[in-house]
Amino acid sequence: MAAESVENSTTHAYLRRVDVSDRAEFLQLMQKSRHLHHPWISPPLTDLAFSHYLARINRDDHDGLLVCQQQDDSIAGVININNIVRGSFLSASLGYYVGAQFAGRGLMRAGLELVKQYAFEDVGLHRLEANIQPDNSRSIALVKHCGFHCEGLSRDFLFINGKWRDHERWTVIHTRRALQS
């Protein structure tokens, strides 16, 4: 994927794939942002965890994308396309998190719009799903703003920070017509 950019009145952002050379900046940003992420997610915080993360996103069924600030190329956040299923399903789930110093600046909104475009047009997916804990109002506001709709509640859906947690299923579906055989 080539770096792509989006602009709006308040932000300049682009996406690029996570690379081994991002280790130091990525880990420093995540360590400084622990208070923002807890209890919602557990991002990689150590060298070993980052190595495991790289191994996962380099598989065929995952993609790890950095949301970068265009003015200085700094990493603002991460959006992962997880569990990509091809065939007749053409679906994936999303995971994302922002660095605390970039929260509320519109960079993740711009990044999520770019990820939607990439997933639908380049990867060829039909459906994206974001599973969000019901009390995570900022994450819910983000997906709502980006055109996702709530499909329901999944009880005890993900094991995060030592506990099974309920999640709302938020989805967006590509509007293209079905492929003809």
Q: Which pairing describes strands 127-132 and 91-98: parallel, antiparallel, or unpaired?
A: parallel
Contact 120, 84 (CB under 8 A): no
Residue 121 has pLDDT above 70, yes or no: yes
**Residue 12's pLDDT band (cuts 50, 70, 90):** confident
**Residue 8's pLDDT band (cuts 50, 70, 90):** very low
Residue 4 has pLDDT above 80, yes or no: no
Structural domains in the chain plus CATH codes:
4-173 (3.40.630.30)
- Averaged pLDDT for residues 97-113: 95
Q: Quick check: bond before 39 cis, omega within 30?
A: yes
Give me the pLDDT at residue 179, please.
Answer: 55
Flag whether the pTM goes above 0.85: yes
Contact 83, 60 (CB under 8 A): no
Name the one residue in this structure whose structure tokens are 């980052």.
50
Instruction: Give the side-chain half-sphere CA count within 13 A for 31.
Output: 11
Quote the DSSP letter at residue 146. Answer: T
Give me the pLDDT at residue 162, please.
Answer: 87
